[in-house]
Structure 1
Amino acid sequence: MSAPQLGKVFPNFEAESTVGKIDFHKYIEGSWAILFSHPADYTPVCTTELGTAAKLEPEFKKRGVKMIGLSIDSVEDHKGWIKDIQDYNSVSCFPYPLIAADRPLVSKLGMLDPDEIGKDGLALTARCVFIVGPDQKLKLSLLYPATTGRNFDEILRVIDSLQLTANKKVATPANWQSGGDCMIIPSVSNDEAAQKFPGFKTAKVPSGKAYIRTTPHPK
């Protein structure tokens, strides 16, 4: 089954987790959310990833983002593994739930990695990242192979961009960091840009087309 589509309402589901049964839409109601899957509990790269995410929980919370992890492992395995995550990464608490998904659910969400096979001979969950907005629509998806751990600082950077561009008529350029200059989107006329972004700059390029317009980070 194909993965959830950008701009569409993220599929709702119910599943057991380390904090009890979760109804996804109810859990994230009115807030941003990040749902990220990992191949398996008690594996090395996943241990570093989930520990890093736990350390960065205050940064996600500051941005109003709820965090949820997911794999096909049981709640019992999740709870046992969390102790290892805390010990290895020197974190005193584990601040977000881990969902114990079943295979139909991860298939529905397009999370299976056909190249990563478990001991039972079946495909494991990939390293997926889904960022969902307060409107419950998918804003971003990322997919990593099992051998490559995710960069959670980059995920925070992406969230900063998504939240800014959801409310302002700007886009963020390559390697943008929060507070940096932004680019005015093409649908904004120069007259409107002059009102919304006084003092914006237009780059001169060989084509002569005035399509690259920059402005300081809008407040």
Structure 2
Amino acid sequence: MKSKLIIAVAAMGLTVLFSSCQKVPQTEIDAATAAIQEVKDAGADMYVPEAYQALVDSMKSANEKVEVAKAKWFPSYTKAKATLAVVSQMAVDTKAKSEARKVELKAETEAAIVEVKALVEENKGLIAKAPRGKEGREALEAIKADLAVAETTVTEVEGLLANGDLLGSNSKIKAAKEKATSIKAELEEAIAKKGKK
């Protein structure tokens, strides 16, 4: 009788022991992995690289916690599950930041297009006032060529923007704006020198 009781207690102890062993939180891991892939597909790695890298690092940390727990006799995945929940929330936040950055870049690019078009027109007006001497003619031809490039760039940027290439269009229009601004400064300086003579 006593031995049956001991066996029953031992069996219950083993049942409690094995039932307390947790399973790997595979569902949470899969959900977090899918969320990160969705964020990457939305372009977060390009538009908000710091936030995306933090997300990837957090997922790596969660995976490390799972591996540490697996190595134990009685694994507990509580910390890993908590980190995975944080990763899922970070994915939502990162995707929102990425979308906001896209809107910001598009607005910035559209504003720069307007500025470059205005600068090109202003520069064309300044060319008419610029000195014409022997050296001036050559310089004006070079400036006209640069302005033509800026106009072509505006058309290219509008095409890139229409195709959704926000980063490419933004960097191109910034370069065109910089060039058009330097041309304006050069023309204004030449006109000012002409006025002093």
Normalised to the residue count of structure 2, the TM-score between the two structures is 0.23
When you count strand as a share of all residues, which structure comes out higher? 1
Normalised to the residue count of structure 1, the TM-score between the two structures is 0.21
Bigger CA radius of gyration: 2
